[in-house]
A and B are shown apart, each in its own frame.
Chain A
């Protein structure tokens, strides 16, 4: 957990009263929509198809049980009793009234939650690994660095009017759970050959209309220099970024147009001016931030407690344990992922009742802490193994024990045309149909790890480019069609998927995906050859043939 200081609390509260005044002036007509739009966007308020949408930040995906209860309260009191967890460690409410938004913000502020920089052309929520601080083999907790960057860039005048939005993600593990290669800046914390910890810095990743995998701009930047180095990148971007054309304004386009070497040289030159400035991070500053993160007082517990042995004969429990329970860095504890992908449900949605129940379970079994991951699932990061059977029973009761983590029905999907004013086509009903087709756990398990990502338009909020199977909604003569790509991935080996052929109509999508999966099962070299690896080995051709032979 992270304890905010007085400065943060004052800032958040001031922001709420400022926005209350702005809303009042908007409703009385003193402010026009043109004048108000930027102000509401600075507070996470979009206008969608049916209503205002309100996006709230969950910095580096860490929540206390008290904060989660407040998120539940906002869903219940000001919305329709549910919220949507997004791919960037935010939560979105879909039905908020403008007139009630200041009250919702004030309630959130009481627990240190806000919506600053969840939209607009500024530094967005600095995301991180949802297993930060508990993953075995991690170099150190990457959230310390998310927090340092968050503090430095929040409401920083120089970074409040960037050419376009700017997203940073940080990981400190070999396996990248934060999708750093599709961010404007990706930071990988590691220890170099000399034993010093620092960052590999990647730049220019992003999806949307013009997708790019981030490139390494500097293989090693020491910890003390990371702030000045990131600032140097932002300055070069601020100076050269294309403000004239919204489609070319992201840093990925600048990096692509200049080439990574030239861009790196510009950054290097800028960095020379500022690297030995106040931006240098002395150890004391890092320690100060580190000390604000608190970790549970873990007990010394056995690796294999009696409670676990006793329940091992229950096949339902075992299926869940094998799928959703992961190794913790401390013996006797586990990391537990809570699937927000029930069969037939909208991916990433949780009801207020579920949020309250998870908060209670976190208090009982996870030292009051909850995490949110970019895969749109929740995590209880510190569960004693002896508590797993009891936790499982409780989760099952509230519909959060679907054993499908990383399987074909653990689908990442954006809101699509059911909510989003930019959409071409619906995403959620496609996801729901697919979860029904692959509802059988044995089948899904036999298929193995397979990530399906769905976006309702080219903005790629559902990360379709990097789905093992990506589904993109397009429009043809007023009808919903979907382009299908295969072979993408979002992890440390990130790459874009390849289009398999012409777009297919709404009603065919689930059949096409079933065909692709059947083709994979017939083609894979061994049962443990993953879908993406089969695609890598054989290319898209055999899949294309299978899908289009009869269409």
Chain B
């Protein structure tokens, strides 16, 4: 099939779709403002105990806390704790993700079964994960599996619900297009259902990533399973106030790293989606 020039529609100029590259002023300004904000907060934190507004037994100055953090960061025990916390976070998130995706896609394709499970889901979903702490202790003691139980339970629902929304959002015209071009069930899941669900899935993962960290640390703090949470509990009971604060700062830093990572991932995966493409065409 070759087109004769007479039947060709005119070629519009291509550069219309070129993307603009390079950071703009607003892009550069934002991190700068953020850094200033952090500096101001640190200054305030330094000043308040030094001026005696709050006793440094409850709030040690920022420099002392950062120094304590620096010292801890040189000990292997600290990094083992970070590793344990991250392991609980990553493993829990991964298990929840896999289970939610498999179940979500399966039940999404079976509206009948889904209808049967709706009331059960509505009952189980609001149960706060921390309410399972006694159960976790009973089952697994202070093992990492206790942490996993809490993380997986909370994250599973967050992701599962999003997957169900996503699967239900498949455009019937896109679906019919795929069917009419001979795409089988699996090919449609891969090329139509999965990409449609992806924005929902990423929202679920973003929420779950934050919750997983919270629960991972909660479990360690309360149950005493290994990780930064347990280190905080130990530091507190031995009266090492600077260490308590240093470890809290460390968990905050972990949260920031995780959040940034998830956002970068989201941007990559959803390049084509409205939520991300906005700035590419602006």
A associates with B: no
